[in-house]
Amino acid sequence: MPPRPEPRPVRVSMVSLGCPKNLVDSEKALGTLASAGLVLAPDPADSDVAVVTTCGFIDPAKEESIATILEMVALKEKGAIRGVVVAGCLVERFAEDLRKEIPEVDAFVPFKDYPRLARICQEVLGEAVPEGADWRGDLASVDRVPLTPPHMAYVKVSEGCDNPCSFCTIPAIRGRHVSRPFREIVDETARLASEGVREVVLIGQDTTFYGYEREKRFLLADLLRALDRVEGLRWIRLMYAYPAYVKDDLLDALRDCRKVVPYLDMPIQHVADGALRRMMRPLGGKGTRALLERIRERVPGIALRTTFIVGSPGETGEEVEELVRFVRDFRFHHLGVFVYSREEDTPMGKRTALVPRREQNRRRRLVMEAQQRVAFERNRDLAAAGTEVEALVEAKAAGGRWHGRTAWDAPSIDGTVRLPDRPGLRPGAMGRVRITAARGYDLEAEWAGEPS
């Protein structure tokens, strides 16, 4: 009697939506699947189970998440896949509603059950659960399966948030602020650098609060100085800073650490006193302006990125005009604008004096047009001066040229720089470039030194 064929291993795919914080969670979740012996499939149509890690922060993100879930359900109904599992922020907020509205989904997985994801996928298929399908540690101890290019990685320094912003659901979704152990972050970064990662981007719901709940003092500056000593690493980039906790020791670290790029992402949300007060942002307009000036004074040449929210309840036309003037005068390197999204389980979400959507969009357009003029002028000035800056190569484009990023540009959200080909050039190569032309938000440059 011929031997029975070995059963085909379960194939699992993952669609990760939302912010880089969610992406890191997805990489960890994939690590638990791989550790349990499941096969990771890049294409949902080539898998047995499709996992969707959702975003539930604002309405457009929720809509994208629902649309993606329905796409996976359609694959299941066609017989292309056998199961659909949904995880992430949307599950934390709306699990019961989702179960009622999309019963075709086989399992909804909250954050606390991510270590059980392999077992859940097996159970969805009605198959025997292999030994080790439950991860025995926490997600911090599992090797990530990278979803980013090999030359860069996001490193999460903390989880959750203690800030009381009246418009935000993050504390309800992610919980109170919890810092990762200092040594754990340094060791993870060193391991990534040894594997060829050249840029790490530090992320968290609030990176600047790092360490405070453990030691009653902010430790982010200390962490930057420790990461600056990691061999093989070239760039360290800081995202998601909270204005009230940006202190001089952090600015000194941004200035002094040679691997920390001159870049800071700090969402300030508005600049008018009334709007900031309603948002429960502690610095107010005057304090916010003073902080921004101090950052530029203490860290010369720094590229500042921020985000604003327009159209929130109570926002006046005068406050929008003040914001537009501020954008024109202060000249941020990068700026994003969101229209207010009502979240009923927040203090601001209980307000009834809502700004009509058409007016919200008009206000967003006014601010973005002001920023576009600033950004285009800045890029033209950089080209006219032949400014030199360090750049990182990302990918080869049509016509033999390459796309990359300058030290002033974060991955996926900021501008790009177009670079000429060189023998041996590869993704992850870095070197000095001279800016030669501006193309709107993007730049063209030539090599000012030999890339390595």
* Same domain as 169, residue 197: yes
Residues 38 and 115 in one domain: yes
- Looking at the domain assignment, is residue 298 inside a domain? no
Residue 362 has pLDDT above 50, yes or no: yes
Q: Considering the entire predicted model, what is its pTM?
A: 0.93
CB atoms within 10 A of CB 440: 10
Do strands 11-16 and 303-310 pair parallel, antiparallel, or not at all (unpaired)? unpaired
For residue 100, the domain's CATH number is 3.40.50.12160
Are 391 and 376 part of one and the same domain?
Answer: no
Q: What is the mean pLDDT of the chain?
A: 93
Asked if residue 170 and residue 239 are part of one domain, the reply reads yes
In this structure, the number of other CB atoms found within 10 A of the CB of residue 20 comes to 23
Structure confidence at residue 131 as a pLDDT band (50, 70, 90): low
Judge if 117 and 18 occupy the same domain.
yes
pLDDT band at 135 (very low <50, low <70, confident <90, very high): very low
In a domain, 22, yes or no: yes
Does residue 137 register a pLDDT over 70?
no
The proportion of the chain whose per-residue pLDDT surpasses 90, expressed as a percent, equals 85
* pLDDT-derived band at 391, boundaries 50, 70, 90: very high
On whether residue 3 sits in a domain, the answer given is no
Is 421 within 8 Å of 401 (Cβ atoms)?
yes
For the segment 127-153, the average pLDDT, to the nearest whole number, is: 71
CB 411 within 8 A of CB 218: no
pLDDT at residue 47 in the model: 95
Residue 294 in any domain: the answer is no
pLDDT at 7: 60
pLDDT in tens, 220-229: 999 999 999 9
Q: How confident is the model at residue 136 (pLDDT cuts 50, 70, 90)?
A: very low
Q: How many helices (H) and strands (E) does the chain have?
A: 13, 18
* Position 141 confidence tier, pLDDT thresholds 50, 70, 90: low
Question: For residue 2, what pLDDT is reported?
Answer: 54
Round to whole Å and give the CA distance between 221 and 76.
49
pLDDT at residue 139, as a whole number? 60
Residues 364 and 401 in one domain: no
Tell me the C-alpha distance between 209 and 179, whole Å. Answer: 8
Q: What is the mean pLDDT of residues 201-216?
A: 96
Q: Residue 420: how many CB atoms within 10 A of its CB?
A: 14
Based on the domain organization, do 223 and 250 belong to the same domain? yes
What's the whole-number mean pLDDT along residues 320-328? 98
Burial label for 412, CB within 10 Å (0-12, 13-18, 19+), is exposed
What's the CATH code of the domain at 308? 3.30.750.200
pLDDT at 230 over 90: yes
For residue 413, give the nearest of 196, 267, 270 by alpha carbon. 267
How many residues comprise the chain?
452
Q: Given 213, 238, 266, which residue is the final one in a domain?
A: 266
Residue 185 belongs to what domain range? 148-266
- The DSSP secondary structure of 2-51, one letter per residue, reads PPPPPPPPPEEEEEE-SSHHHHHHHHHHHHHHHHTTPEE-SSGGG-SEEE
CA-CA distance, 184 to 5, in Å (whole number)? 43
Is 256 a member of any domain? Answer: yes
> Are 154 and 124 found together in one domain?
no
Least confident of 132-141, 253-262, 437-446: 132-141
Residues 159 and 260 in one domain: yes
pLDDT exceeds cutoff 60 at 213: yes
Give the total number of structural domains in the chain.
4
The CATH number of residue 410's host domain is 2.40.50.140
**Mean pLDDT in residue range 48-64:** 90
The CATH number that applies at residue 261 is: 3.30.750.210
Judged by average pLDDT, the poorest of 48-62, 244-258, 285-299, 381-395 is 48-62
142 part of a folded domain: no
Q: Please tell me whether residues 379 and 392 are part of one structural domain.
A: no
| The token pair that represents 326 in the structure block | 């501020």
Summarize pLDDT for 162-178 with one digit per residue, the tens.
999 999 998 989 999 99
CA dihedral sign of residues 90, 93, 96, 101: negative
pLDDT at 297 over 60: yes
412-421: pLDDT as tens digits: 999 999 999 9
User: Of 113-117, 123-127, 238-242, 379-383, which range is least confident?
Assistant: 123-127
Where are any strands of DSSP class E within 77-198?
83-88, 107-109, 152-156, 158-159, 178-179
Are 170 and 213 in the same domain? yes
Q: Are strands 83-88 and 49-54 parallel, antiparallel or unpaired?
A: parallel
Say whether both 33 and 96 belong to one domain: yes
Confidence (pLDDT) at 128: 59
